[in-house]
Structure 1
């Protein structure tokens, strides 16, 4: 699918999520109990449930929120492609989600052959977005309603799943896959484990957005590798302000 699909049909996405509250003690008693029930079988030895909260709550949709969604798409300009990047971020998760849906709706009106593209989006980003849409009282658009689609109807390209080549015992991080394909490393500032700290302690959403943008540029270059095309040059990457 990746090899044959036109570059214009790849819509690369990545999300950044943080815990809904800064720490365990910020939760009310009911939510503290719910957290304990959720993690009691997975808390590492010598770690308390409150210590575990900042480590894991940010990747559990019931205890987290989306603070940044980055999108990227290819557009041919004269003789070469540009990769255009946009980030939607903010403290108000519902507003972030609404802006995301509005952006996708605009794209859908122009090109309805696009596919969500990303690394591990099938198991993380897309399910997380759907859960948070429902939690925020929002409807799931038809293009995200994968549960009601047949496998061949899903508009999703997952570089993590593609790299497995049917080997479901294999897990490969984006960083490792990029290194294996000689794609420049996506991380030179922060990594995923630091996003919560940057958000809650530094209140630096712009830094998180830049980190997120680097991920989707990396995925775009992995797509180029899969298609045996040259990597994007710096001048081909256009970031919307």
Structure 2
């Protein structure tokens, strides 16, 4: 006869949270952080990054509501926005939509949701500019002489960062990523259509 040790409920719950934090599947994971950065006239001089945080799965719905509320403000003002991401069309936007719908929320209908791979406006996904070469963000930063944001961590390390250093470490990592993405965008402007060019 084999006896199984009973698992403590807290240990089981902690294991589930760890699995979710580590997962890149929208049914198993949650969005821990969304970082954004705005450059009104000059991508070489953007505003400081801003982050929306969900340290636990229970915080995710509130974070998503705040994010979409802020996006709605831009839509209501009818501002011309070029949304800039790195791999956002293939990963970030679909994951964001899946998690939004999971909570019964409605995403704001905005140009960020344009995931057609061959348009660079209104959603400019920098990873699509070099699709045949398979460059990651760290590679693109090295190519363009931009500081490597991966010194702060990697997407696969979010669970470990959250457990060992807390949500502020995740914020630092995500904000370093968006700052590097903005710097790469600024250096890639000669390759981008007129609609992506600064207004000033």
TM-score range for the pair, normalised by the shorter chain length? 0.7 to 0.9
Could you tell me the TM-score, scaled by structure 2's length?
A: 0.75
Secondary structure at 1:82 match in 2: coil
2:186 & 2:113 partners in 1: Cα distance? 28
Structure 1 residue 58: deviation in Å? 1.6
Q: Which of the two has greater strand per residue?
A: 1
1:58 & 1:155 partners in 2: Cα distance? 29
Secondary structure at 1:142 match in 2: coil
Aligned residues: 173
> Could you say if the C-alpha distance between residues 93 and 102 of structure 1 is closer, same or farther in structure 2, counting changes exceeding 3 Å?
same
Q: Determine if contact 2:72/2:108 at 8 Å carries over to the other structure.
A: no
Tell me what 1:70 maps to.
35
> Could you say if the C-alpha distance between residues 227 and 198 of structure 1 is closer, same or farther in structure 2, counting changes exceeding 3 Å?
same
> Could you say if the C-alpha distance between residues 116 and 22 of structure 1 is closer, same or farther in structure 2, counting changes exceeding 3 Å?
farther
Residues 1:59 and 2:24 are matched in the alignment:
yes
What's the Cα RMSD here? 2.9
1:84 & 1:110 partners in 2: Cα distance? 21
> Structure 2 residue aligned with 1:128, among 90, 95, 102?
95
Residues 1:82 and 2:49 are matched in the alignment:
no
Residues 1:140 and 2:118 are matched in the alignment:
no
> Could you say if the C-alpha distance between residues 110 and 161 of structure 1 is closer, same or farther in structure 2, counting changes exceeding 3 Å?
same
Could you tell me the TM-score, scaled by structure 1's length?
A: 0.63
Structure 1 residue 192: deviation in Å? 2.0
Q: Determine if contact 1:68/1:209 at 8 Å carries over to the other structure.
A: yes
Tell me what 1:100 maps to.
67
Residues 1:183 and 2:168 are matched in the alignment:
no
Gaps of 5+ in 2: 1-12, 191-200
Tell me what 2:174 maps to.
212
Q: Determine if contact 2:20/2:30 at 8 Å carries over to the other structure.
A: no
Gaps of 5+ in 1: 1-20, 28-52, 229-241
> Could you say if the C-alpha distance between residues 126 and 22 of structure 1 is closer, same or farther in structure 2, counting changes exceeding 3 Å?
farther
Secondary structure at 2:175 match in 1: helix
For residues 119-169 of structure 1, the C-alpha deviation after alignment (integer angstroms, 9 at most, x for no partner) is 00000000000000110111122115548x8x76973110000222xx3xx
